[in-house]
Amino acid sequence: MPLDITLFGVQMPTLLPIFVIATVVQILLDRIMSDGGLYNHVWHPGLFRTAVFVCLFTTPCLLIYR
């Protein structure tokens, strides 16, 4: 994948749309996980949530910068 993409005539790093998409996915996942009661079984919900977001964001980033 390219390092820069052009959206609506504006050139920007590909990381930016990835970040936005990862945030949306994260919010949806978070809703599902909290309503499903997953967080009751996790030691540190905040850390877990952050870790999930890091995974979601960095996996596509690694694909780009490989």
Residues near other proteins, by CB under 8 A:
30, 34-35, 37, 39-40, 42, 44-50
Min separation Cβ 31 and other proteins, Å: 8
**Is 35 or 66 the residue whose CB approaches other proteins more closely?**
35
CA gap 6, 9 in Å, rounded: 6
Min separation Cβ 41 and other proteins, Å: 10
Min separation Cβ 49 and other proteins, Å: 5
Residue 23 near residue 33 (C-beta atoms within 8 A): no
